[in-house]
Amino acid sequence: MDSIRILGGAPLRGDIVIGGAKNAALPLMAAAILSSEPLTLVNMPELADIATMSNLLRQHGVRVDQSALGAGSAYAEAGATGRTMTLTAERIASVTAPYDLVRRMRASFFVLGPLIARCGEAKVSLPGGCAIGTRGVDMHLKALEALGAKIEVTAGYVHAKTPTGLTGAHITFPKVTVGGTENLLMAAVLAKGDTVLENAAREPEIGNLAECLNAMGAKITGVGSGTLHITGVTSLHGARVAVIPDRIETGTYAIAAAITRGRIVLKGARYDLLDAVFAALRQAGVTVDQTEDGIVVAAENGLVGVDVVTEPYPGFPTDLQAQWMALMATADGASMITETIFENRFMHVPELRRLGADVNVHGASAIVRGRKKLTGAAVMATDLRASVSLILAGQAAEGETLVNRVYHLDRGYERLEEKLGACGAQIERISGG
């Protein structure tokens, strides 16, 4: 297994181009199942999770064609390096999403809604738990049942059928669920009649999906609010849609600038998607400026501890909680970080402690007492965002940090060593075979 070696302690200075959002791209790819015509996605990131989703869709019969970003396109001019992907689901060859692919990536579950809507049947493996919590799919299933799907869970598979098609319904999620909202949207667009979805997630990635579905001929209103109205249509057509910039990648590199007391220009990022994060950074003493060149994030010594609570969008994202903790470990004074989305998302704490961070966990909150310096050590990555928090802490730490088991990183961070290296980071991947 690969590891990453970092020689930390130097401020990072330079430009980083932000890629397309993984969490937007994955449901957009699944949406291709809904039409027999091609769906073209622009600004696609090159990540292991995207390759996994491509493989899953291929075995459902979807043709996946990729090409480099066309020269002269607005994204290429903004410096983006993403790809264009065209997905054509002329015929669905199989309605089964096998365990072997779903267990690798929970987002595989996104095929459930579109498969039921298009084929009237789907058999999708249950995703199982993961490092950060049990992560059930009960809300996805209850919502699909409300649209008329008959669901049985047997031998680890969700088997859903709608012999007479889906019918619109009034659904209220008991708790905000990003994936549940996306699955339900992709099913309801082809249901008979109207669907109202209350307590829907408001994440920008959902806006991107709704924009895509509407471009394919769906009728969704209320996008960006907690209540979505969907009027079902009988079929969807092809479309061309751009993936929004990755707000978690943006926030991660903003924290990289702050934790090393450096200056990074984030190019191709969208400022408006990170209001809560930039507000917290400013409160900590970091400078964040939106300029024509990009978002400029700069910091000097004297950062102070700031409390954050993770919340559904537009609150502080859980996917930046681990990175925030690394930053707070280097700030003056104490800060409290409260995780409200996942029940077990402090796996990075023992590893950050190995680098000298002073963190104590009390239930869903962690108290971080900033230290003058962190020191390099060997650490183990546990999940995607935890891995990157260790990379960030390693950049700030004096001496050598070895982050082991980094395969998680490749799921969500495109060319990370190259991007940080261009800002002066001494970082290299060691192939473990």
Active-site residue set? 130
Closest-by-Cβ residue to ligand UD1 is 179
Q: How far is the CB of 47 from ligand UD1 (least distance, A)?
A: 11
Q: How far is the CB of 133 from ligand UD1 (least distance, A)?
A: 5
192 in contact with ligand UD1 (CB under 6 A): no
Give the residue from 23, 17, 43 showing the smallest Cα distance to 423.
17
How far apart (Å, rounded) are the C-alpha atoms in residues 123 and 154? 10
Kindly report the backbone phi and psi dihedral angles of residue 190, in degrees, each rounded to the nearest multiple of 5, phi listed first: -110, 10
Tokens 């059930």, located at residue:
136
Considering only the stretches 135-143, 151-159, 184-192, 294-302, report the one whose residues sit in contact with ligand UD1 under the rule CB under 6 A.
135-143
419 in contact with ligand UD1 (CB under 6 A): no
Tokens 């007391």, located at residue:
261
The one-character DSSP state at 133 is B
Q: Which residues are within 8 A (CB) of 279 and not within 5 positions of it... i.e. 6 or more apart? A: none
* AA letter at 263: R
How far apart (Å, rounded) are the C-alpha atoms in residues 169 and 398? 57
How many other β-carbons are positioned within 10 Å of the β-carbon of residue 93? 12
The secondary element (H helix, E strand) that includes residue 367 is strand 365-369
Q: Considering beta carbons, is residue 23 or 35 the nearer one to ligand UD1? A: 23
For ligand UD1, what does the binding mask look like between residues 197 and 236, x meaning CB under 6 A? --------x-------------------------------
Considering only the stretches 88-96, 116-124, 176-184, 275-283, report the one whose residues sit in contact with ligand UD1 under the rule CB under 6 A.
176-184
117 in contact with ligand UD1 (CB under 6 A): no
* AA letter at 249: E
Q: Could you give the angle at which helices 178-188 and 112-119 cross, rounded to 10 degrees?
A: 10
Among 91, 150, 170, 175, binds ligand UD1 (CB under 6 A): 175
Among 48, 64, 107, 149, binds ligand UD1 (CB under 6 A): 107
389 in contact with ligand UD1 (CB under 6 A): no
Considering only the stretches 11-19, 138-146, 347-355, 421-429, report the one whose residues sit in contact with ligand UD1 under the rule CB under 6 A.
138-146
**Positions in the binding site for ligand UD1 (CB under 6 A):** 23, 26, 106-107, 133, 135-140, 175, 177-180, 205, 318-319, 341-342
